[in-house]
Amino acid sequence: MTTRIFAVILATGLLIAGCAARSVRIAELKNDPSRYNDKSVRVTGMVTNSFGIPLVPFQLYNVDDGSGEISVVSRSGRAPARGTRIEVKGKVSEVAVFAGRSIGLHITEEDRKVVN
């Protein structure tokens, strides 16, 4: 009975860990976008640019982690200010693939937090 309970707890832990967003470097995303396409990832870095247009339901900002820069599409309020260090969780997407190259690689934000 104890072995069965342990096995259930272990399997549950592995399932939860497997579903969690994986922290990756932006260079990894850019080098192999098809591997991460439509998967949740976590990226930590500095906001280099942010754009928001009044009455448009989304904002854009760029994050640089030292290995590269990626655009983030946010639908949750204001885009973070330039120079803010953040951790972003979201799904990786591309607008298109042309001649084997990813065009418009970005993260659709699911969650973000300011990192000190």
**Residue 2 structure tokens:** 């104890």
Of the CA atoms within 13 Å of residue 32, those in its CB half-sphere come to 6
pLDDT at res. 43: 97
pLDDT band for position 18 (50/70/90)?
Answer: very low
Domains in the chain (CATH in brackets) are 22-114 (2.40.50.140)
pLDDT at res. 53: 77
CA proximity to 94, closest of 39, 14, 33: 33
Checking DSSP bridges between strand 40-52 and strand 22-23, what pairing results, if any?
parallel
Give the span between the Cα atoms of 3 and 59, in whole angstroms. 50
Per the model's pLDDT, the better-predicted residue between 100 and 114 turns out to be 114
CA proximity to 108, closest of 41, 57, 54, 50: 41
